[in-house]
Amino acid sequence: MTPDQYCQEKTAKSGSSFYYSFLFLPEQKRKAIMALYAFCREVDDVVDEIHEEQVARVKLNWWRDEVQRIFHGVPQHPVGLALKPQLENFRLDEKYFYDIIDGMQMDLDFNHYLSFNDLSGYCYRAASAVGLLTVEIFGYSNKLTLRYAHDLGMAFQLTNILRDVREDARRHRVYIPEDECRQFNVTTADFLQAKTPDNVRELFKFQADRARKFYQQALQHLPDEDRYNQRSGIIMKSIYESLLDEIELDGFRVLEHQIKLTPLRKIWLAWQTARKEKKRHKKLRKAHG
């Protein structure tokens, strides 16, 4: 198995919504984005699958060394070997890879956040840093697109937090800010109950509304000239917002059962959004001669 094949398999097996958006990219960009996503999966799996904290910390430090090898030496891991040649094709900033690892380490260092200001630092490292790398792969000409990437990453992470609140609570992790829990008279113990009283539903709606604001801000920042290049991000947005819609339509009962979109629904949304963005791009090019 080649390093590229390893990354593709790692990405496909994850079942992530991101995989479906990558299918519409040209081959070189698809290889690069799958290598990046495989990197994110590897470091995320360290925290989620290694139950001994000290072992997880050692493993994260190994990945910090691997980033150094990717940029300045000879990588050892298939993901590192797949990423290394992409440095010649795309302007990938080494700092963001360390930020992503730091975000994963925050899961070892913290199991709750006092306020959204505290949580936003985690969301930046866990998701916005990834977005800032993906825009380099997708391509952009206007620096406003970096603001789009930041806000879209925030929106994705906030959606994930709402979707996974029950699973995270079982791992003794609570990402919904403490001051907002107090505002709605919700305790950490409530997240372990398979029921959705009104105050919990209102708290979750508050979280969903914040995520929607970040989705809206992201598109407002995205310049027309970069929109078609960034269509994979727009496909992801379509899938993630549809998930948010399903959560809301279900009455925010994320503590009672898992809410997710079927692979068929994701493929349909990806195809529909890609088609829409292609038509929009053609129309824009025609308007500008």
What is the residue type of 129? Answer: A
What are 117-159's pLDDT values in tens digits?
999 999 999 999 999 999 999 999 999 999 999 999 999 999 9
DSSP 93: -
- Spatial separation of the C-alpha atoms in residues 263 and 246, rounded to whole Å: 15
- Spatial separation of the C-alpha atoms in residues 33 and 37, rounded to whole Å: 6
Banded model confidence at residue 57, pLDDT cuts 50, 70, 90: very high
- The strand ranges marked E within the chain are none
Domain termination residue (choose one: 93, 128, 159): 93
The 10 Å Cβ neighbour count of residue 38 is 24
Burial class (CB in 10 A: 0-12, 13-18, 19+), 40: buried
In a domain, 38, yes or no: yes
- Spatial separation of the C-alpha atoms in residues 76 and 60, rounded to whole Å: 15
pLDDT for 289 beyond 70 = no
Q: Which of 231, 230, 240 is nearest to 271 (CA)?
A: 231
Number of domains in the chain: 2
pLDDT for 209 beyond 90 = yes
CA distances from 198 to 27, 33, 281 (A): 48, 41, 44
What are 253-263's pLDDT values in tens digits?
999 999 999 98
Same domain, 161 and 220: yes
DSSP 230: T
In a domain, 287, yes or no: no
- Spatial separation of the C-alpha atoms in residues 50 and 82, rounded to whole Å: 24
Output the DSSP codes for 249-275: HTTS-TTTS-----HHHHHHHHHHHHH
Whole-prediction pTM value? 0.93
In a domain, 150, yes or no: yes
Same domain, 178 and 80: no
CATH at 224: 1.10.600.10
Q: Which residues are within 8 A (CB) of 193 and not within 5 positions of it... i.e. 6 or more apart?
A: 255
- Spatial separation of the C-alpha atoms in residues 82 and 51, rounded to whole Å: 28
pLDDT for 11 beyond 90 = no
In a domain, 102, yes or no: no
Same domain, 193 and 114: yes
pLDDT at 49: 85
- Spatial separation of the C-alpha atoms in residues 225 and 128, rounded to whole Å: 21
Q: What is the mean pLDDT of the chain?
A: 93
pLDDT at 15: 63
Banded model confidence at residue 166, pLDDT cuts 50, 70, 90: very high
| Residue indicated by tokens 């407002």 | 220
What are 64-112's pLDDT values in tens digits?
999 999 999 999 999 999 999 999 999 999 999 999 999 999 999 988 9
In a domain, 130, yes or no: yes
pLDDT for 244 beyond 70 = yes
- Spatial separation of the C-alpha atoms in residues 90 and 134, rounded to whole Å: 10
pLDDT at 14: 65
Same domain, 267 and 170: yes
Banded model confidence at residue 17, pLDDT cuts 50, 70, 90: low
Q: How far apart are the first and last CA of the chain?
A: 47
